[in-house]
Structure 1
Amino acid sequence: MDVSRRGLVAGAGWLAVATLAGCSAPPRDGRQGSAFPGPSPMSDLQAGEAAFLALGLVGTPYRYGGNTPEAGFDCSGLIGYVYWRSAGIAPPRTVAQIARWGQSVNESDLRAGDLVIFGSDGSPSHAAIHAGESRFVHAPSTGGTVRLNRIQERYWKTRLLDYRRA
């Protein structure tokens, strides 16, 4: 990542995350998260690149089971695409698996590229990629597009379960 990209991610303070509906669709590209015993470490540079890439996907149509810009994305498909393209890491395909993948991170230790897990009653239903300043990018629902929201919005704040790092 060059200096201009680093500045854009840090300066804009964007947060990338994927969301609720359709987050546990089966993979369409043959990758299976369960085939990978655990995440490879993601460097700070790769994590920043992941956040930058996710921001560039804002506006891409939502599609259940989708995992490419051409096909559209559901929440876990967005994460898989971004992590694979930015760091060569293939995360699990379902939100339930993603919510157990990597390691939990305190809010004070968040960095761009970390995952954000949402759900209710302790059950994960959505996952995302953090880009800074309590913002995230996600694929919210059928008929929608990948978009940017704030974690502090009432809806999201009440559903926040965990932050995770690959």
Structure 2
Amino acid sequence: MNSHLKKAIVSIATAFTLFTTGSAIVANQSAHAATSDEAASLIDEANDHMGVRYVYGATGPSSFDCSGFTKYVYKQALGVNLQRTAQAQYNSNKKVSVNSLKKGDLVFFGSSARSISHVGMYIGDGKMIDAQNRGVIKESIYSSWWNLVGAARVGD
């Protein structure tokens, strides 16, 4: 086999590998919490970290801040890479009304849509799992210490 043919075969094989690997990465990042299996995986992963301590800026698994927790849970459960901060997670995902929340949706808190300071993951029945000063806990999305600004569905 001549060297030009060998180079062509190697180039085609390399291009095919890059194409198929790239497609897998894109498909992986388009996952969302719309199915019950995906939501169950997210909630199971989040439950595995109940009680883990809160540390500002921490991304797990031995400690978390709020957005580090949601980022970690989505990555571990679904292979989805969320943005790092609560504000960036709010800005980069499709907004949904609080009335149409599904398990696995993200819920956001702060003084306004431009000033998001906290994020949690909705688990149904008006509750979320989040990382806050008491660690990773389950709590109501409606409380006197949080101002619910909005919600978003990842990947929709």
Give TM-score, length-normalised by structure 1.
0.69
Q: Which residue of 2 aligns with 1:7?
A: none
Q: Does 1:41 align with 2:21?
A: no
2:44 paired residue among 52, 56, 66: 52
Is residue 89 of structure 2 the alignment partner of residue 98 of structure 1?
A: yes
User: Paired residue for 1:151?
Assistant: 141
Shift of 1:138: 1.4
Question: Corresponding residue for 1:66?
Answer: 58
RMSD: 1.7
Q: Write the distance in 2 (CA, Å) between the matches of 1:48 and 1:106.
A: 21
* 1:153 Cα offset (Å): 2.0
Select the structure that is richer in strand: 2
- Deviation by residue 1:41-85 (Cα, 9 ceiling, x = unmatched): 314121231122212211001112211222x00011101110001
- The structure with the largest helix share of the pair is 2
Q: Indicate the residue corresponding to 1:82 in structure 2.
A: 73
Instruction: Name the counterpart of 1:12.
Output: none
CA distance in 2, matches of 1:152, 1:118: 10
Q: Percent identity over the alignment?
A: 31
**Which of 144, 149, 154 does residue 161 from structure 1 map onto?**
149
Deviations 1:98-154 (A, max 9, x none): 11122011223211110001001441111111110011111112xx31111112222
Q: Find out whether 1:116 has 2:86 as its counterpart.
A: no
Q: Which has the larger radius of gyration?
A: 2
